[in-house]
Copies of this chain bind each other. A is one copy, B any other.
Amino acid sequence: MSDDLSRFSINQMTVRQLTLPELTAACRDLGVGSVGLWRAPVQEYGVEAAAKLVRDAGLRVTTLCRGGFLTATDPDARREALADNRRAVDEAATLGTDTLVLVSGGLPPGDKDLPAARERIADALAELAPYAEAHGVRLAIEALHPMYASDRCVVSTLAQALDLAERFPAHQVGVTVDTYHIWWDDRAPEQIARAGADGRIHSFQLADWTTPLPEGVLNGRGQLGDGSIDMREWRGYVEAAGYTGPIEVELFNEALWARDGREVLAETARRFVAHAF
């Protein structure tokens, strides 16, 4: 593995066309030592089997994506969400990663109260954070771009994510810093410093911002270098804040998914070296 790739981690979603065995083999061939995994494909393969596969391949699992969706008002839905998040913590521990990324959830149908939804996330974290700690897992609240505020994540800025995280010890709850979601925010650099000072940068992810956005705005994250975000600038902010951990590239992109997965992984590693280092 080249030095420049030592901090590179490929998020499984970037090359979701690859099966887990194909992904681990491609990582070995390309000298990629770290992966971020997603629950659905891991469950499909079997959590224990996936854990053995990545362990045998010598891969580090940098994060498990994702827990969250903690904004339900219905008591049954809320109970089920908490139970599912405990299972996500268990899976993270089995996979050997210390970080579970949280996408907090949107507004319930017909609901217009963002502050109340954010408060329900805090209530849920109070139940989940000690459970996660007991299993050696840190929760990493991800601020999602404001365009997801109604239907996926009412936590829209790093400042909001930290307002939630700081109610808990840093080794229980921190944040995910993802360039795609925060690049437009002139307060984000100071919030990265705030997060780093407190040891709360639990994950750092890269994706570029490209337009036009596709319908539904989910699967248009740009390959590094294709868009408007200066990756080195953002790596500089997290490093100035004391973060020296892995850097995941997580792209949801229909055009990339339509290509050969090994080729996309190789390209992503090259782009990482060219644009983030």
What 1/0 flags go to A239-273 for Cβ under 8 Å of B? 00000000000000000000000000000000000
Contact A186 B211 (CB under 8 A): no
Report whether B227 and A150 are in contact in the complex, using a CB–CB cutoff of 8 Å. yes
CB distance from A121 to the nearest CB of B (A): 13
Q: How far is the CA of A229 from the CA of B186 in the complex (A)?
A: 24
Which residue of B185, B216, B227, B230 is within 8 Å of A146 (Cβ)?
A: B185
- Tell yes or no: A115 within 8 A of B by CB: yes
Chain A contact residue count (CB 8 A cutoff): 32
Please determine whether A115 and B211 come into contact, CB atoms closer than 8 angstroms. no
With A114-B186, A184-B156, A186-B114 as known contacts, state yes or no: A211 contacts B146, CB within 8 Å: no
**Chain A stretch 97-156: residues in CB contact (< 8 A) with chain B:** 107, 111-115, 145-147, 149-151, 156
Known: A107-B228, A215-B212, A217-B217. A184 touches B115 (CB 8 A): no
Contacts of A233 in B (CB 8 A): 112
A160 part of interface (Cβ distance < 8 Å) = yes
Contact, CB under 8 Å: B228 / A184? no
Q: Once the chains bind, are B146 and A184 in contact (CB under 8 Å)?
A: yes
Assess whether A214 is interfacial by the CB under 8 Å rule. yes
Residues of chain B within 8 A of A183, CB atoms compared = 114, 149
Contact A214 B215 (CB under 8 A): yes
Bound CA–CA A215/B211 (angstroms): 10
Nearest neighbor of A118 in chain B, beta-carbon distance: B186
Q: Digitize A210-238: 1 where CB-to-B-CB distance is under 8 Å, 0 elsewhere.
A: 01111111000000000111100100000
Instruction: List the B residue with the shortest CB-CB distance to A215.
Output: B215
B114, B157, B217: the one contacting A213 at CB < 8 Å is: B217
With contacts A146-B184, A186-B115 taken as known, whether A213 is within 8 angstroms of B211 at the C-beta atoms is no
Query: Is A209 on the interface with B (CB-CB < 8 A)?
Result: yes
| Residue pair A112, B228 in contact (C-beta under 8 Å) | yes
Which residues does chain B contribute within 8 Å of A115, judged by CB atoms?
Answer: 186
**CA distance in complex: A215, B145 (Å):** 17
19 A-B pairs besides A113-B230, A213-B213 with CB distance below 8 A are: A107-B228, A111-B228, A112-B228, A112-B230, A114-B183, A115-B186, A145-B146, A146-B146, A146-B147, A149-B183, A149-B184, A149-B209, A151-B211, A156-B184, A157-B185, A211-B216, A212-B216, A213-B217, A217-B217
